[in-house]
Amino acid sequence: MAKPKITETIFRDAHQSLIATRMKTDEMLPIAERLDEVGFHSLEVWGGATFDSCLRYLNEDPWERLRKLRKVFKKTKLQMLLRGQNLLGYKNYPDDVVEEFVKKSIGNGIDIIRIFDALNDIRNLRTSIEATKKSGGHAQAAISYTISPVHDIEYYVKLSKEMESMGADSICIKDMSGILLPYTAYELVSKLKKEIKIPIQLHSHFTSGVANQTYMKGIEAGVDIVDTALSPFSMGTSQPSTESMIAALKDSPYDTGLDLGLVAEIADYFKPIREKYIKEGILNPKVLAVDSKTLINQVPGGMLSNLVSQLEKQGSLDKFDEVLNEIPKVREDLGFPPLVTPMSQMVGTQAVFNIILGERYKMVPSEVRNYVKGLYGKPAVPISSEIKKKIIGDEEVYSGRPADLLEPQLEKIKSEIKEYIEQDEDVLTYASFPQVAVSFFQHRQAEKYKIDSSLLNVEEKTYPV
């Protein structure tokens, strides 16, 4: 019986989930060498929101963070999260940008790229998977787990087989809302182990309070790897605790073999960092609470906080429960998309508009229109002609791979920002987040040449509460 391995998320999803990805590179480096000694399967350090947060809030170069971490980690594989054709942003990018981004990610130190698509449309994974393998990386294809009349065990088994055929080196069951229940996990993992030959990893969040049990049943069914977070940044909307998982499996057939004492000592390093973010108001105690309603409405923790913010700006926080009830209806109208970036933002914003304006689909964001037009990919369930008519009228729906509509961009970008380029990676930074990138490049120039940044019309970056 193979012992389950552990991917530690402290440098990516753990702090993304609890402190809006605000942990700085200087807070990571002092403990990196000790983390390298533990024997984790991998350490998730990059991707997701880390890239945007480095530039927007920390005035850090995300590529430089990766290089610094790679220099310290001699034994442990480094992992990142990639949104398929969306890369680290919220729209589709042309193939040339995707291929170059993947190549540079691996070139700067990433070993494993977890690749997902918000609609589980595997056409949006192909370029990333092929580029990862071409550059010598491990391509992990991720299922965006959700529940609906069509998202059943057989759906996920079929999807996983397609991912394996496409060249995926492993499969991740990515349960972003914490809604995968223990016995469902046992059944899903058991069937996948019979149907596919590549390793299976399980990723969940503690939002609804069941992730520990889900991991245990997944491990009993033969899952190869689970994602956990060191205790100071675990639980709540983050992952189950690493120390607790190691202890729970000790002296069983599933003993991880990891040194609990060493891991507990490393966890102590992060306690004052956690306290600092609590004092600064960045770690909100609300994200540490169990929210069992997630099992009913499937709304991830991050999406809930976005909804509160949107309603507060409109002076309509009293309509919060109405919006929560509207979300499943909008999701059904739109073909049951999984509530993960960028679909969670689209469904949430549409639900807010429907309730605040008192009429469904009176106002529709451009992203939702583009989604209905097929420009994000294919929904699991076809959208009804009635809903299409309301949202896009008689406009045509595109049925091809969305990225096939996009022209190559790299050369154009290079010429647009030639005065700022100091490394090849700057082109990709600008492609991902143009406005934020220019602001960062100007800061970088100001620091390099000791110029007052106000001369470059750049606002100082601050930590938002």
Here the CATH number for the domain that contains residue 147 is 3.20.20.70
d(CA 4, CA 201): 9
Question: What is the tally of structural domains in the chain?
Answer: 3
Residue 185 lies in a domain: yes
d(CA 121, CA 101): 20
Residues 51, 53: Cα–Cα separation, whole Å: 6
10 in any annotated domain: yes
Same domain, 253 and 382: no
In a shared domain, residues 410 and 363: no
Same domain, 370 and 422: no
- Are 376 and 444 in a shared domain? no
| pLDDT for residue 293 | 84
**Is the CB of residue 116 less than 8 Å from the CB of residue 103?**
no
pLDDT in tens, 177-220: 999 999 999 999 999 999 999 999 999 999 999 999 999 999 99
The DSSP secondary structure of 65-82, one letter per residue, reads HHHHHHHH-SSSEEEEEE
pTM: 0.93
- Final residue before a domain boundary, out of 352, 380, 400: 400
pLDDT score at 310: 82
Q: What is the helix, strand, coil percentage profile of the chain, to 5?
A: 50, 10, 40
- Confidence grade of residue 303 (pLDDT, cut at 50, 70, 90): confident
- Please write the tens of the pLDDT for every residue from 338-379: 998 889 989 999 999 999 999 999 999 999 999 999 999 999
Q: Give Cβ neighbours of residue 389 (< 8 Å, ≥ 6 apart).
A: none
Q: Which domain holds residue 446?
A: 405-456
On whether residue 162 sits in a domain, the answer given is: yes
* 365 and 430 part of one domain: no
* Residue 181 shares a structural domain with residue 271: yes
Same domain, 186 and 271: yes
Q: Judge whether 111 and 170 are in contact, CB under 8 Å.
A: no
435 and 306: one domain? no
Q: Are residues 412 and 396 in the same domain?
A: no
Q: Which token pair is 174? A: 């990515």
Task: Look at residue 455 in the predicted model and tell me its pLDDT.
Answer: 55
| Residue 214 shares a structural domain with residue 336 | no
**How much is the pLDDT for 459?**
43
Residues 396 and 274 in one domain: no
